[in-house]
Amino acid sequence: ARLTRTLAAVYEGEGKVDLASETLQEVAVETYGSMEKAEKAEFLLEQIRLTLKQRDFIRMGILATKVNRKVLKEAGFESKRHRFFRLLLELHGQLRDARELANDYEAIAETALAEAARSGAPRDEVDEATRTWKDALARQVLFAAMSKYTDELSVTFHALLRSKPLEE
């Protein structure tokens, strides 16, 4: 799996994005299932990124379901979580799915909030994280407002109204 990923990077460097994506897609789940969580997440993110470059949104959606979102919530996975939801923004934007866009922005805001609250981070990183979560929160509200009304959406709005970050 590692060698295949390296080969895919070479193909992509040569401008052969389709071949790079196909090469990476050939690796069976069982092959990278034994990898450490961080490496496995990185491998899946790379597969998703390449399918996005191909504009293969159907395959991208399928690959996105393979990502374990519980793992992305673990400490140390903030950058991977942020990257994953940035990729999903592209997918859900293409599908014009306002509710999923709101969910993606919610995850980005939560991740940025965690980064901003991290003690010992340099001031410029905290400022950037603060800008990110404020922007993501505003977009979450916008896309939630554009979504078709459901009971789940009502719960989301009530939670947003009680949230301290929205107050800020």
Cα 76 to Cα 79: distance, rounded to the nearest angstrom: 8
For 27-62, the pLDDT digits (tens) are: 866 666 677 888 888 889 999 999 999 999 999 999
Would you place residue 160 in the very low, low, confident or very high pLDDT band (cuts 50, 70, 90)? Answer: confident
Contact 80, 45 (CB under 8 A): yes
Burial of 84 (0-12, 13-18, 19+ CB in 10 A): buried
Q: What is the CA radius of gyration of the chain?
A: 18
Q: Is 141 left (phi over 0), alpha (psi -120 to 50) or beta?
A: alpha
Percent of residues, the chain, with pLDDT higher than 90: 47
Cα 70 to Cα 100: distance, rounded to the nearest angstrom: 18
- Please provide the average confidence, as pLDDT, over all residues in the chain: 87
**pLDDT over 60 at 153, yes or no:** yes
Q: What is the pLDDT of residue 118?
A: 61
Q: What is the arithmetic mean of pLDDT over 16-23?
A: 92
For 76-100, the pLDDT digits (tens) are: 898 899 999 999 999 999 999 999 9
Contact 64, 98 (CB under 8 A): no
Degrees (nearest 5) of the Cα angle 109, 97, 19? 90
